[in-house]
Structures are given as C-alpha cells and as structure tokens.
Chains A and B, each alone.
Chain A
Amino acid sequence: MEKFEKLTGIAAPMPLVNIDTDMIIPKVFLKTIKRSGLGVNLFDEMRYDRQGNEIPDFVLNKPQYRDTQILVAGDNFGCGSSREHAPWAIADFGIKCVISTSFADIFYNNCFKNGILPIVMPQEVVDVLMKDAEKGSNARMVVDLEAQTVTTSDGESFPFEVDAFKKHCLLEGLDDIGLTMAHVKDIDAFEATMAQARPWV
C-alpha cells in the first residue's frame, strides 16, 4: 500500500450530510471483479446526467476542483453498505483524505486499507475547513499525518486524533495480512484451545 505522509492539495466542499455509499459509487459499478478504474464513476449519479454528460454544478466537475485531493464533507460520511468500492473510487479519483464530523464505521476502516486518511473534526473546525475549501484551486490545504494537523490556506492549524496503530500502518504503507501473519502462532494456539473449549464451532 502507498504510504501516506504529508499531503498538500486542493480541498473540495461537500456539505451535504449522510452522503451514503450508494451516492459515492452506485451499485451498477459493483459488478467489477477488479479494484481499479472506479474513479471515473465516483459520485456517478450526482456527477453525470443519464446521457453521461457532466452536470456542471456538481463540485468535482467545476474547473477549480478537478484535481481535488481532499474532501471536506457533511456529517456521517460513508454511511450504508460495506462496499470497499467506495474508497477504491475515491482513491482512484485521486482523493487521499476526507474530513467530516463523523464517518460510518465500515467505511472509516475501509479507508485505512486503501491509503486514505479519514479525519474526524468537531463541527466548528469542519465549518472553517469547509469555508477554506470553497476557495478552490486558489488555495491549498495541508494534511500532516505525522504531526496530526490540518492547516488551511490561511495558515490556521487544527490538530486531529487518529488511532496510533492505524497511523503507523498508513505512514509505513503496511499490509495488514503480512502483519497478522507474524502472529500466526497466536492464532494456532487460540484455535487449539478453542477446539477443546468449543468443539462445536
């Protein structure tokens, strides 16, 4: 997995609350058996009309947001299904960080598996970042994972919390399965104990 260190990029505002996984990537695109190539269909039903033409009002279609790397979003982002196609599409578009007041649990976990940093901030901070994101390509937001800060284009800096282990994995670009395989003896031991204690499993 690609390492996440420090990101300086354009932020796009999506203030709508409860942006669900069907909005992020509609089910018609879940039929793929690959992980790649979904970026073009990110937010498909909000982004294109039925003929496949871009809807000019949609934020990521505006010229100043075409190279968005950071999304500042309304509350409860990523609610709904477990489809990892949602973070795959986000990452494939080029977005590496999403900031909101809260995220749905499965989506939040899925982000870390794909080199995306989801950041939870209080409402008043999201409000400031949303305003900053409205500046479009005239502005750059800085996300520093090591220092755990987000800095606006005006230089105003806000700290954020992230689980230490998840941070470590993201900074180093670590593969979860490889990490867990290092504990294979613990898993063997657990299975052996359980074969005695709960043989019906």
Chain B
Amino acid sequence: MTAPKTLYDKIWDAHVAHEQEDGTCLLYIDRHLVHEVTSPQAFEGLRMAGRKVRAPEKTIAVPDHNVPTTLDRVSGVIANEESRIQVEALDKNAKEFGVNYYPVSDVRQGIVHIVGPEQGWTLPGMTVVCGDSHTATHGAFGALAHGIGTSEVEHVLATQTLIQKKSKNMKVEITGKLRPGVTAKDITLAVIGETGTAGGTGYVIEYCGEAIRDLSMEGRMTVCNMAIEGGARAGLIAPDETTFEYVKGRPHAPKGAQFEAALAWWKTLYTDEGAHFDKVVTLKGEEIEPVVTWGTSPEDVLPISAVVPAPESFKGGKVDAAKRAIEYMGLEVGQKLTDIQIDTVFIGSCTNGRIEDLRAAAAILKGKKIKDGMRAMVVPGSGLVRAQAEEEGLADIFKEAGFEWRLAGCSMCLAMNPDQLSEGERCASTSNRNFEGRQGYKGRTHLVSPAMAAAAAVTGHLTDVRDMMTENA
C-alpha cells in the first residue's frame, strides 16, 4: 500500500513531467492565464528567441488590470497612453501567438480569476498559473494554482512547464458553522490574522472543515484568493458535489462521457486519512466575527467590535510597523473601529466581485441610501456577472442606493486604471490588499466583506453588519 497522500501531493504527483535527483521538477501546466500587465515582456522574449507558445489551446488571455470601468469605455479608446499600449500589446500578442482571448469588447471579459472559472477553463485537479499572485483563487476547485513572475510566464508559454520544488503541506481547518453576518471573506481574513502574512511561506494550504464545506464555490474562491496574503504558494479546497455542480455545463468543461471520466478522477482528489501535514491551524467557525483591517498589512485584522491596537502590544519589528501603519492610516490608539469614518466604498475585485458577493451587498442596501457625500462603486468581476446582476435586479438596488454601476475590471483593487483614492481618502474595500498606496497615493484602505462594505456605505463609518441585519429583520 502506498503512503497516505494529501490533496496537494496527489495533484503534484499527477503533473511531474521530469524530476532531477535533487527534487527539482518540471511541473506540467494545464492552464495558463495571461493578462496585459505581466505578459508583454514574456511575449517579447519569445519573439526575440524565435519561440512559439507551446500550447496556445491551454492559454487564456484577458485584459483586466488597466481597463477603464466607466460606461463610456465601449465607445472609446483608453485615455491613458501607457494603459492603452499595454492592452493593445495583449491584443496583438494574443492574435500573433494564437491563444484564447477575451478582448475588452467581449461580454465575457472580466478579471482573469473570475473569467477562468466562469468559462470552465479551471477544473479540479489541474495546475493553473498566471502572472498574478491572486491565481490562488482557482484552488477553490481543488486545482493547484499560483502566481508566477514574468520570466516564468515566458517559461510556461515556451515549455508549458514550470521549474519547481515541492512546498510543504499546511492544513487550515474551520470547524463548525459560521454565525449570521459572517462570510468567506471574514474566514480568510481571520486566518491571516491568526497566521500572519508570512505564516504560510513555504506551504500550500488545504482549507477544510465544516465551515469550508458549507461554502458555495464563490465563497471558496474568496477564501483561496487570499491564501497568498497569508504567504502560501497556493490554497486548495478538495472538490465535492458543490464543485462538480458548478463546473458542469460550463463552456470549456468536459461534456458527456468525458465529463463522467473526469468526474471519476476528480472524486479521488481528497486528502487520504492519516496523510501528513507539516503545520495545522484550526479555527472555530462559531468564534469568527465580521472583521476589518485597521493597518497596512492584511494581517492587521480585528473583529469589528475591537479598537485600534497599541503598537506596544506587538513584538519585534511589528512594533515599528504598527506605529507606521497607525500614522499612515490616520488613526488613534484605542479608537473604536466602528468610529472610523469612511468616504469611499469599493465593491469588486477577484476576491469579492462574483454574483454572490453582489447579492450579499445588495441584501444590505435594499431600500437604503448611501451616506451623503459618499463615493461608492460596484465593479462586477466580469461582464457575465454584471449581466446576471442586472437580470436579478441587483443593479437597480445599487443604483437606487447611490452606487455607481461599473463595467468589469480590476479597478480600485490596485488602482492601475483611473479608479483611485486621492490623498487621505478612506475606503471600505472588498479587495485583498491594504498596503500603503495600494488604492492610490496616500489612500487608506480597510478590507471588509461585501456586506460590511455595504453597511459602511450607508452609515458612513465602519459598521457591524449584524446590527443592520437585525434592523432589516
């Protein structure tokens, strides 16, 4: 009998095309997602060396980081010269090298990590890479998915493999049930709050436990998306009926007998009883509260009921980092988090730009108005998410509440397009990073769930969404 394996072990073993004596492997890549920011130099490298894309049929390109999300983009050219050049370079490269492509004009265009699953490119047991750290998102399907740099993008384009050494196995278990008002975003932030942003360095995380099993695919993608913020190479969730149901019928998912054959293999993708994990973290689902970040690192997480912490309560280099963060964020030690005033709300990103996220936010906003002077925007993760939200009447709820209803893209998550914070502006954001300057020079970001973002839009300050849920009930 072979030794018990983790889910990660199984996917890894199924993709080793060559192994050196020292354990360095050529890992075969099943899906390569490409966007406009990290790919131009890679395509140029191929061109210079006279190389082709080895597997264009397994390569999927979509512009997302730079694209404007305002409604006038359909009619126009991208105003920012450099952004326009990058998007045009992707257009040109996609055509020249013959890869699958969703241009800005295509209704299926959107954030690469939302388009991949939506179109059925991402399937259980696959290896998926992209020149983007949030590739971890696809781990929700039980696919080994992680971000790579541009040199590696070129390597995958040319060889369909990556030079890799295996990471260690880490298990993050969320036991029990979540309480009302607590979401996948709160889980993933709470885990980072527990482990720190370097806690996952050197590991691939498998998320498991009842609270994870109970999540929809959308929620699972939110959890895995931020595995990178915990420092992990990838996050994984074993595929189950929820996964198979989501995948079935998607444009690029297998059909008929092939689906049955795939399903038979997918059902073997779980961690065997007794398999070894190098590190284990367990949180109780019932004890997770709606959380927010107060500082400039995703590990600066606290329950919404808490206060801004004293830097001295930390250890080592984190003391100075916390001082710097509190100053940057313009906060007072001991200030209640619910007293922090907000002027901007951003709902979107590969973390929380899916239909379920928009439903959660709309449920809070129904029949309400955003606070006077608040700038609030919803940027759906893809054109198809947008269309569905319009069909379900969510778009009307957002618009009536005073939100801007935008076109799909990465938008204010990283502010490479015109959607940015100005100096000193403070945003409740459903995105994934609260780094200094992330959403705009000297902008201040508080990471929250979509429901919490909606609540803050209404009250004008960080708010415990559970208070508003009782109000609605």
Quote the shortest CB–CB distance from A176 to chain B (angstroms): 6
Question: Which chain A residues border B165 with CB–CB below 8 Å?
Answer: 163
Q: Does B258 contact A (CB under 8 A)?
A: yes
Are the CB atoms of B437 and A45 closer together than 8 Å?
Answer: yes
What residue in chain B is nearest A34 (Cβ atoms)?
Answer: B41
Among A18, A32, A177, point to the contact of B321 (Cβ < 8 A): A18
Q: Does A156 contact B (CB under 8 A)?
A: no
- Known contacts A82-B38, A200-B261; A109 and B149 CB within 8 A of each other: yes
What residue in chain B is nearest A105 (Cβ atoms)?
Answer: B233
Question: Which chain A residues border B38 with CB–CB below 8 Å?
Answer: 82-84
Are the CB atoms of A33 and B26 closer together than 8 Å?
Answer: no
What residue in chain A is nearest B255 (Cβ atoms)?
Answer: A200
Are the CB atoms of A15 and B320 closer together than 8 Å?
Answer: yes
Are the CB atoms of B24 and A27 closer together than 8 Å?
Answer: no
Are the CB atoms of B66 and A15 closer together than 8 Å?
Answer: no
Question: Which chain A residues border B28 with CB–CB below 8 Å?
Answer: 187, 190-191, 194
The contact size tier of chain B is: 35 or more
Among B20, B201, B320, point to the contact of A104 (Cβ < 8 A): B201
What residue in chain B is nearest A17 (Cβ atoms)?
Answer: B317
**A50 to B440 alpha-carbon distance, docked (Å):** 12
Are the CB atoms of B22 and A32 closer together than 8 Å?
Answer: no
**A17 to B132 alpha-carbon distance, docked (Å):** 23
Q: Does A113 contact B (CB under 8 A)?
A: yes
Question: Which stretch from B81-89, B286-294, B353-361, B464-472 is at the chain A interface?
Answer: B81-89
The contact size tier of chain A is: 35 or more
Are the CB atoms of B151 and A22 closer together than 8 Å?
Answer: no
**A15 to B24 alpha-carbon distance, docked (Å):** 33
**A45 to B37 alpha-carbon distance, docked (Å):** 20
Quote the shortest CB–CB distance from B234 to chain A (angstroms): 9
Quote the shortest CB–CB distance from B125 to chain A (angstroms): 8
Are the CB atoms of A74 and B441 closer together than 8 Å?
Answer: no
What residue in chain B is nearest A50 (Cβ atoms)?
Answer: B441
Q: Quick one: CB contact mask for B151-176 with A, threshold 8 Å, 1 for yes?
A: 11011001111010100000000000
Question: Which chain A residues border B30 with CB–CB below 8 Å?
Answer: 201
Contacts A81-B414, A187-B28 aside, 20 further interface pairs with beta carbons under 8 A come to: A16-B317, A20-B297, A22-B433, A27-B415, A30-B37, A35-B41, A35-B150, A74-B321, A79-B231, A82-B135, A82-B147, A83-B38, A87-B149, A102-B201, A105-B232, A109-B149, A165-B24, A177-B154, A190-B17, A201-B58
Could you jot down 19 A-B contacts, CB within 8 Å? A15-B317, A17-B320, A20-B435, A22-B435, A23-B435, A26-B441, A30-B37, A30-B416, A31-B37, A31-B83, A32-B82, A75-B198, A81-B133, A102-B198, A176-B163, A177-B159, A180-B155, A187-B54, A191-B28
B-side interface residues toward A, CB under 8 Å?
A: 17-18, 20, 22, 24, 26, 28, 30, 37-38, 40-41, 44, 49, 51, 54, 58, 65-66, 80, 82-83, 85-86, 89, 123, 125-126, 131-133, 135, 146-152, 154-155, 158-161, 163, 165, 197-198, 201-202, 228, 231-233, 253-254, 258-259, 261-262, 265, 297, 299, 316-318, 320-321, 324, 414-416, 433, 435-438, 441
The 4 closest A-B pairs by CB, nearest first: A200-B254, A31-B82, A113-B151, A84-B149
A-side interface residues toward B, CB under 8 Å?
A: 15-18, 20, 22-23, 26-28, 30-35, 45, 50, 74-76, 79-84, 87, 102-106, 109-110, 113-114, 123, 163-165, 176-177, 179-181, 183-184, 186-187, 189-191, 194, 198-201
